[in-house]
Amino acid sequence: MNSKPEFVDKNLSLYKFVSGPYDNNAYLIVCKQTNKSVIIDAPGDPHELISAAQSTDTEMMLITHNHWDHLLGYEEITSKFSLRTGIGLKDAPDMIPRDPDFQIRDCDTLSVGKIDIKAIHTQGHTEGSTCFLVNNILFTGDTLFPGGPGKSQSSDAFKTIIESISTKLLVLKPAIVFYPGHGLHGTIRNAKDDYSVFEKNCSSYEIHGDIEWLS
């Protein structure tokens, strides 16, 4: 594999790939003991991701949510590997281009090689948005970014995503590094600090759209 890992520890290697019209992030997690791997999300033009994954035994692909920019490379990836695909239960009915092999529920644990992956349902950006926790690494899709929450389509959706983030993600260990669906990674510690400022200063939650913690 020619790609440089984003993160390495004794159990796994993590590779990040940026592609598609909206510069989406896709991730490849490889178990160091077994060389089995899992792909997180399927953006367009996944050629580098596919090339890297072909040097591993790719068993599974997990989709964080059903927005099209995270699925543009779905058909190309699934045509190259004999793998199972999964997405959050509430996003499965509207998944394009085809139904997933399995649906993921909150607190499900999935295993690839010696790696355990915990699913965390974080409704708000979509009904079935799901984050994936692997040891001290969290994949947040479009739920949480270093600067704020993912985009919300209504004030109700904003309240929902805030509840998901504050009760399910910011309660995790501060040292956890999270990797979103676009852009750079962050830490739970920094996100919690920024959210505390937002919570103190926000006069109304009747807002939606692209909200920043420190705007």
Domains and CATH numbers, the chain: 8-201 (3.60.15.10)
Q: What is the pTM of this model?
A: 0.97
- Separation CA 66–CA 124 (nearest Å): 12
CA distances to 28, 99, 137, 142, 155 from 162, rounded to whole Å, are 28, 29, 20, 13, 10
- The two counts, helices (H) then strands (E), for the chain are 4, 15
Q: What percent of the chain has pLDDT over 90?
A: 95
Measured between alpha carbons, how far is 34 from 4 in angstroms, rounded to an integer?
19
> Predicted confidence band at 177 (pLDDT cuts at 50, 70, 90)?
very high
Q: Is the pLDDT of residue 2 over 90?
A: no
Angle of CA points 85, 15, 145, to nearest 5°: 80
Tell me the pLDDT of the chain averaged across its residues.
96
**Predicted pLDDT at 32:** 97
